[in-house]
Amino acid sequence: MDMERLQDELRMFKDRHFPQQRLRSSLTVYVLLALSYLLIIILFVVSLSRVSVLSSQLSEQRSELKQNHSSNEFKLSVLSSQLSELRSELKQNHSSNEFKLSVLSSQLSEQRSELKQNHSSNEFKLSVLSSQLSELRSELKWNRSSNEFKLFPCGPEAREWEYFSGKCYYFSLRVTSWQTAKALCEEKHAQLAIINSHAKQNFIMYRTRDKRFWIGLSDQNAEGEWKWIDGSDSTAGFTYWKEGEPSDSNHNEDCAHVWTYGEWNDVHCTYECYYICEKPVPL
């Protein structure tokens, strides 16, 4: 009984307080919904504002870019125009330079040709002059040798040789034996002097001045048969013995020399005195 009463009371209580609780809960939901909408609207407005700002910045940048683009296009156009002018100018200069180069090349070719002609002409002149010079040299040489021959028939370089009557004579400055003197004359392509004329005797006499000089006369092969060095017999021709000579003193005097006043004397062949060589005039 009591339990049923209690359940009835509880049911009654619930029926009395439930509408108020429902109303309270609905209000809370509405308030929350309103707050949510408000928040959404605020967020939307904020977003819209930011989009607007960004859009404005984007528009400005676009405009700026557009201006820059236009400016760059203008600069590019100017540069292109200048480049075109430069190209044109270069082309003109190139043509002008090619023309100048062609003219210079032509002038160079002409000068080369002229130089070549001059060179040939100069070579010919040089050849003629060289030939004339050679002839003059030859003539001069001939004149010189002719004059030298007239002045020095025994040779301009041979001061020790003296000319007489178509032959050259050497008067030694050293003394030696007859055999050595003979050999020394042969070394000079000469022989001991042969005196076969009075004129030659006089020439030798004045040159020997009383000194003793071997001459090419001996009787070595046969005593008493005085022969010249060329094999000719002296007794048959000119002689100029000193008085009492040849004496063959001590039977040992087989070689002859000129002595005082150029007179001849026989003496032993190992005696040492000067000597006279004789040779033909060199050609």
* Interface positions with Ca ion (CB under 5 A): 219, 245, 247-248, 253-254, 265-266
Kindly tell me which of 149 and 175 has the beta carbon lying closer to Ca ion: 175
Nearest approach, Cβ of residue 177 and Ca ion (Å): 15
Residue 203 or 264 having the CB closest to Ca ion: 264
**Rounded distance, CA 172 to CA 169, Å?**
10
Q: Closer to Ca ion at the Cβ: 171 or 178?
A: 178
Please, which residue, 109 or 249, has the CB nearer to Ca ion? 249
Query: Least distance in Å: CB of 220 to Ca ion?
Result: 8
Choose between 190 and 256: whose C-beta lies nearer to Ca ion: 256
Cis peptide bond N-terminal to 246, omega within 30: yes
Query: Taking a C-beta distance cutoff of 8 angstroms, is the pair 278, 151 a contact?
Result: no
- Tokens 């009591």 locate to 2
Phi-psi group of 272: left, alpha or beta (phi > 0 → left; psi -120 to 50 → alpha; rest → beta): beta
- β-bridge pairing 227-228 and 213-218: antiparallel
Q: How far is the CB of 234 from Ca ion (least distance, A)?
A: 13
**Least distance to Ca ion, CB of residue 202, Å:** 22
Q: Biggest alpha carbon distance in the chain?
A: 229
Record the tokens describing residue 23, joined without a space: 């109303």
State in angstroms the smallest separation of the CB of 283 from Ca ion.
38
**Nearest-approach distance from CB 266 to Ca ion, in angstroms:** 4
Nearer to Ca ion, 167 or 218 (CB): 218
Minimum distance of Ca ion from residue 252's CB (angstroms): 7
Give the residue with the Cβ less far from Ca ion, 219 or 278: 219
- Nearest-angstrom CA–CA distance, 211 and 205: 9
C-alpha–C-alpha distance, residues 140 and 153, integer Å: 18
The residues near 223 (Cβ < 8 Å, ≥ 6 apart) are 248, 251, 254
CA distances to 234, 249, 252 from 267, rounded to whole Å, are: 17, 8, 7
For 251, other C-beta atoms within 10 Å of its C-beta total 8
